[in-house]
Amino acid sequence: MKWNDPEYNKYIDEIHENIEFHEWTLKEKFRKNKFNTESICCLQMADKIFDSLDKKRNIKYGDVDVVINKWTDGTYGIPIHDGGTSIIEINFCPWCGQNLTDKKASR
């Protein structure tokens, strides 16, 4: 498909609609679960943080589905699934590029 093909534009429109729907679904999920996303930079990050917590909002350690953790002091990290609790601390959001240490410093 070429970029100026009407079919291509239709395809792009559909992707955008899907993104909007996806974002809406995420917001609904956070709202229903009373999950506070105020301090989180973007929806993708919020979704991953949400998935990293158990029902009591505690960090799930050793869960291979968890790709990112956020601690109450504002530290973000990628868990290393080596059976322990090692992490690689990250300073920027992998999805939106936000500097995550800004918020940490302001606490």
Q: Which residues are paired to 69 by β-bridges? A: 77
Cβ-contact 37, 46 below 8 angstroms: yes
* CB 100 within 8 Å of CB 90: yes
Q: Does 78 interact with Zn ion (rule: CB under 5 A)?
A: no
Task: Rank residues 5 and 87 by Cβ distance to Zn ion and give the closer one.
Answer: 87
61 contributes a contact to Zn ion by CB under 5 A: no
**Residue 77 near residue 88 (C-beta atoms within 8 A):** yes
Nearest distance in Å: CB 40, Zn ion = 7
Contact range with Zn ion by CB under 5 A, out of 6-14, 20-28, 54-62, 92-100: 92-100
Contact (CB, 8 A) for 95 and 45:
yes
Q: Considering only residues 29 through 58, tell me which ones interact with Zn ion, judged by CB under 5 A.
A: 41-42, 45
Residues that bind Zn ion (CB under 5 A): 41-42, 45, 93, 95-96, 98
